[in-house]
Amino acid sequence: MSYPDLLDEAWARHTAAKESNAPTVISAFAGCGGSSLGYSIAGFRELLAIDWDDNAVATFRLNFPGIPVFYGDIADLTVDEVFKTTGLSPGQLDVLDGSPPCQGFSLAGARDLNDDRNQLFREYVRLLEGLRPKAFILENVSGMVKGKMKLVFAETMRQLKAAGYRVSARLMNAMYFSVPQFRERMIFIGVRDDLKVKPSHPKVQSRPVTVFQAIGNLPPGEPGAHSEAVIKAWHAAEPYEDLRKASFRRPTRQGHYVGSFHSARLDPNRPSRTQIKTHLHWRWDVPRQLTTLEAAILGSFPPQFKWVGSKTQAKERIGNSVPPLFMKALAEHVRAHVLGAAS
């Protein structure tokens, strides 16, 4: 199946009615709905999404009109409110999803998860302890297991296990799950202790999808309105190379391109670079930055997904999202090998 056909199929599964006995999920830090779309494609029924960002919530509501949204600070959401909104009781929820940032860890400090700057992770654990879902999926940056940050990883594992869960964590790359993007993330999967099921992760499911396979069917468009120095930097850049690096490697009389080091000319024969700053990626065949549609498709969002606000806002949402097809693979694995084994 071609990649465009795969996205069309994914959207059809998202919009199809869910089974009455479909597994349930609550998404904390839902953003615009990257994870939620993955769960929906996998056949889950989402009962509640939680986020505080205006643009993210507006985008989520546009694409998930039937899902209740708690629009505000997660610290203000009580467990009782969740039960009232969803009709659940403790232990009934199948999966609690989330990507809480852990920004308060100092490389030189104590790296204490009780640091006020790590409030969001603490709130996730609070909901985990109160809701008692059968399982959870938590996504975070790959840097948690690199260098001194390994202490952060160890403390994260300790608190998740203390909440009453068996936990497995693994570095995974979305490009092996039909996402045309090199995106490495730490994935925690937890299973409630009383279920006696060992947590596990899905195995590699696909060969990497290239940029050309993903968006090569779209018209290349016209060159962007950029300075001569930028255009020359684009021409000088090798596939997958930062324009700034290429500019300094091959200087011109018009000067250097002094933009971000994330500003890269994509290679059509490889997956995209990680899309944290999607507005800085450039096409390989025409000197222009990616459109919102192109960036979304490389993030495994179907073309039918709608975006709210400016191009910059849309691309920020894409860059901050868990790729839907990646989450689909995780959700399907948990449905089959955790929830299925526990039933």
What residues are labeled active site?
A: 102
Three-state SS string over 80-129 comes to HHHHHHHCCCCCCCCEEEECCCCCCCCCCCCCCCCCHHHHHHHHHHHHHH
Give the separation between CA 87 and CA 83, rounded to whole angstroms: 5
Residue owning tokens 């090199």? 182
Helix/strand number for the chain, H first, E second:
13, 7
Closest by CA position to 98, among listed 170, 190, 163, 173: 190
Q: Are 74 and 120 in contact (CB under 8 A)?
A: yes
Give the separation between CA 213 and CA 202, rounded to whole angstroms: 24
Cα–Cα distances (Å) from 96 to 70, 82, 284, in that order, read 15, 12, 39
Closest by CA position to 180, among listed 75, 323, 277, 332: 323
